[in-house]
Amino acid sequence: MACSNLTTMWVSSNPSLSDSSSLSFRSVLNPLPLPNHNTSPSRSSSVAPIQSSLRELRDRIDSVKNTQKITEAMKLVAAAKVRRAQEAVVNGRPFSETLVEVLYNINEQLQTDDIDVPLTKIRPVKKVALVVVTGDRGLCGGFNNFIIKKAEARIKELQGLGLDYTVISVGKKGNSYFLRRPYIPVDKYLEAGTLPTAKEAQAVADDVFSLFISEEVDKVELLYTKFVSLVKSEPVIHTLLPLSPKGEICDINGNCVDAAEDELFRLTTKEGKLTVERETFRTPTADFSPILQFEQDPVQILDALLPLYLNSQILRALQESLASELAARMSAMSSASDNASDLKKSLSMVYNRKRQAKITGEILEIVAGANAQA
Q: Do residues 131 and 221 make contact, with C-beta atoms less than 8 angstroms apart?
A: yes
127-133 and 249-251 beta bridge pairing: unpaired
Bond prior to 298 in cis (omega within 30° of 0)? no
Query: Which residue(s) pair with 219 in the sheet?
Result: 128
Q: What are the catalytic residues?
A: 140
**How are strands ordered across the β-sheet holding 186-190?**
186-190, 164-170, 127-133, 219-229, 232-241, 249-251, 256-257
d(CA 225, CA 235): 4
Instruction: Give the closest residue to 316 by CA, choosing from 233, 196, 167.
Output: 196
- Check: pTM over 0.75? Answer yes or no: no
127-133 and 273-282 beta bridge pairing: unpaired
Q: Do residues 295 and 199 make contact, with C-beta atoms less than 8 angstroms apart?
A: no
> Going residue by residue through the chain (374 aa), what tens digit of pLDDT does each one get?
444 443 333 333 344 333 433 333 333 334 444 444 444 444 444 444 566 788 888 888 889 889 989 988 888 888 888 888 878 877 777 777 777 777 767 766 665 456 667 777 888 889 999 999 999 988 888 899 999 999 999 999 999 999 999 999 999 999 999 999 999 999 999 987 778 888 889 999 999 999 999 999 999 999 999 888 777 888 999 888 887 655 555 555 555 544 444 444 455 555 555 454 555 545 455 555 556 666 777 777 777 888 888 888 899 889 889 989 998 988 889 888 889 889 999 988 988 888 898 899 889 988 888 888 87
d(CA 52, CA 55): 8
Instruction: Give the closest residue to 367 by CA, choosing from 50, 7, 29.
Output: 29
